[in-house]
Amino acid sequence: MTDTVLQIDGVRKHYKQGDNILSILNGADFTLRKGETVALVAPSGAGKSTLLHVAGLLEHPDAGEVFVNGRASSGLSDDARTAMRRSDIGFVYQFHHLLPEFTALENVMMPQMIAGLSQIAASERARQLLDYMRIGHRAEHRPAELSGGEQQRVAIARSVSNAPLVLLADEPTGNLDPGTAGYVFEALEALVRQSGLSALIATHNHEIASLMDRRVTIEDGQVVEG
């Protein structure tokens, strides 16, 4: 049995800008193994977000294939892609995107209840995750009442609430000061290690990148070891 949970095979992605074609990914290949953390470090505009969006089934590649846990995604219907994304992939963005009218606890419960979990079970798991992220004492506070680091820790807890196989993070500490960024990443890394998740994390922070299992970058539309 393979231990590959995410495989990007010959992926191409371009965008049209007026009369011009902007080529971002040119036959990119990438493999993420079970339990592995990989830093994606590349200059702005190199295609980090595009790669994460294609890997997370948020965008269709123009060519190539994305396999999630060995299953090809290109032939799936939109509903099937959504179901795969909901069950197998977690996302963390630079901005937390928490729902402002709900508490931290309710924000972490929401994806679980959408997936069919009972309110009691969702609440129990949400509290466990918030405790693990060392934010349990703020469970009943709304996002506006939390600091930036606290908001991001809630967003991380929400991203793994449905126990995905893969976590994709796009500059998850980019809006935080260095001290808070280090604290949040430490909590993120501990959660990934403890749960056996596989993570691809885009970051400009080389200190944070050095803590991961390996580093990749994007050069001329290709994913290469960094």
Give Cβ neighbours of residue 100 (< 8 Å, ≥ 6 apart): 142, 143, 144
Residue written as token pair 């470090």: 41
pLDDT band for position 1 (50/70/90)? very low
User: What percentage of the chain reaches a pLDDT higher than 70?
Assistant: 99
**Residue of higher predicted confidence among 171 and 167:** 167
Whether 34 contacts 198, CB under 8 Å: yes
Helix axes 178-195, 148-159, angle to 10 degrees: 20
Q: Phi/psi at 177 (nearest 5 deg)?
A: -70, 160
Whether 12 contacts 73, CB under 8 Å: no
Mean pLDDT of 26-43: 91
Q: Phi/psi at 161 (nearest 5 deg)?
A: -65, -25
Give the integer Cα–Cα distance in Å for 144 and 142: 6
Residue-averaged pLDDT of the chain: 88
Whether 115 contacts 87, CB under 8 Å: yes
pLDDT at 20 over 90: no
- From 120, 182, 184, 121, select the one nearest 157 (Cα to Cα): 184
Q: What is the pLDDT of residue 14?
A: 92
Q: What is the pLDDT of residue 162?
A: 86
CA atoms within 13 A on the CB side of 133: 30
SS3 206: helix
Question: Is the whole model's pTM more than 0.75, yes or no?
Answer: yes
**Residue of higher predicted confidence among 176 and 125:** 125
Residue written as token pair 């449905």: 162
pLDDT digits (tens, 9 = 90+) for 137-162: 999 999 999 988 899 889 988 988 88
